[in-house]
Amino acid sequence: MKKAIFSFLIFFALLLISGAGYFYHSITTPASAKSLETIVRINHGQSFKSIATQLHSKDLIRNEMVFYFLGRLTGQARDVKAGHYQLDPSWSMVRILDHLTIGREALNRIQIPEGLSWWQTGRLLEHEGLVDFEEFSRLVNDQDFLEGLGVHGKSAEGFLFPETYYLSPTRDIGARRLISIMIGQFWKSTGHLWEQMDFDEVYQTINLASLVEKETGISAERRIVSGVFHNRIQKNMLLQCDPTIIYGLGEEFEGRLRRSHLEDRDNPYNTYRHRGFPPTPICSPGLASIKAALFPEEHNYLYFVSRNDGSHHFSKTLQEHNRAVNRYQRGR
């Protein structure tokens, strides 16, 4: 009898050792030697057992019961956070579970280029599935909402800062959230430029910067273009900036400016007919254009015309400008 009990204990001990060895091997050995990035969405309130099943169905773990017991034994089962995660079958169960409990989500990379109008930004974000355009349109013109973000203008135009954003698919969605992020990034990126300036001065600078942004994409020309606009304002000249007219035409602009557009007094953004800056910025300028607006190059240029290669010819007199127009635009 004693011999039988002893044999049973030996067998039981071996079974425990074998089981522990299998458990350790399972939690430390990846499901695959090949790396294959896989996106997994964990929902709020999702049970840990269903998470284990989900990971197994995506071939990220070999044994869902082992993963389940690992989470229970370590206490991490209750710490898994909802979100979108980029996981890999070449990771061990231990690493996958750590990743889910740390909450290190797979982020969406969204690039907002310089020079977009608010509606172009809204359409881009809608295309990415991050906002509803109608809600975006309402909020960028909601002055009460914008006041809370430090923007005291008619709209958010000019303040939706162009940047590459890394956004949480779980938290960073919806027009209110995205507008708040972009305006917050504006103040974070430009705040050091506004010392001793009130908002009206900031707004005027962004207005000018938006014109610079739309007129040239060549970095060496930005401060020169800014200087031209400064000179024309000082002389009470019309700015005569084509991009302002285009902005005033809105999303319906067909791609070609006509004489009727230049003569249209009903377009408040027509700087061929209305003096001074347009009512609002016409796009969100980048940091380089903002600095150019703040620090224009000092010169006597009053005109510029495209050379049709991205660069511009700058002139001090109307006669010189007309010759440049004939040369570069009319081919004479």
Q: Which amino acid is at 149?
A: L
Look up the CATH number of domain 28-102.
3.30.1490.480
In this chain, the answer to whether the domains covering 28-102 and 108-191 adopt an identical fold is yes
Q: Is the pLDDT of residue 95 over 70?
A: yes
pLDDT at 189: 95
Pick the closest to residue 98 from 77, 73, 68, 82 (CA basis).
77
| pLDDT at residue number 160 | 98
Q: How far is CA 2 from CA 6, 9, 12, 14, 54, in A?
A: 6, 11, 15, 18, 48
Rounded Cα gap, residues 165 and 163, in angstroms: 6
The percentage of residues in the chain with a pLDDT greater than 70, rounded to a whole number, is 92
CATH 3.40.50 describes domain 108-191: no
Q: How confident is the model at residue 256 (pLDDT cuts 50, 70, 90)?
A: confident
How confident is the model at residue 15, as a pLDDT? 46
Stretch 241-261: mean pLDDT: 89
Task: Give the start-to-end residue ranges of the domains of the chain.
Answer: 28-102, 108-191, 209-299
- What are the residues facing 40 on neighbouring strands? 85
Q: Which residues contact residue 35 at a Cβ distance below 8 angstroms, ignoring those fewer than 6 apart?
A: 88, 89, 90
In 3-state terms, what secondary structure has residue 214? helix
pLDDT band for 14, please (50, 70, 90 cuts).
very low
**Per this entry, what is the length of the chain?**
332
Question: What average pLDDT score do residues 224-243 get?
Answer: 96
What pLDDT score does 169 carry? 84
Among 166, 133, 156, 190, which Cα is nearest to 280's? 156
List of residues 6+ apart from 276 with CB closer than 8 A: 233, 239
Residue 159: alpha-carbon gap to chain centroid:
12
What whole-number distance in Å separates Cα of residue 43 and Cα of residue 278? 47
Specify the pLDDT at position 21.
64
